[in-house]
Amino acid sequence: MTSNIFTHNRAKPDNSTRTKVMAMTVEIRDGKLCIEIDMQKPEPSASGKTLVVASTKGNVVTTVVVDGKPVTIGLNAYIKR
């Protein structure tokens, strides 16, 4: 396993004309997949059942490689409403 570090910035539109950026860093360190992602102000999920506090907003293919293949991450962190 390679200890690559992958940094991703995904533009996230909000209700204004500004764009928020969700940054994620991924690396393999000491045999562990380490994911660091920006947190956001809690906002309702698509279903409205939970409040999302961090998300990749879909799958993101990284440059971190395992067995010669890139690792894909889809992450949602949420709290109860």
pLDDT tens-digit readout, 46-76: 999 999 999 999 999 999 999 999 999 999 9
Judged against a pLDDT cut of 70, whether residue 18 lies above it is answered with no
pLDDT at residue 71, rounded to an integer: 94
SS3 of residue 77 by DSSP? strand
Residue 4 vs residue 25, higher pLDDT: 25
pLDDT at residue 23, rounded to an integer: 87
Query: How many separate domains does the chain show?
Result: 1
Find the domain containing 35 and state its range.
5-80
pTM flag (> 0.75): no
Both tokens assigned to 64? 């971190």
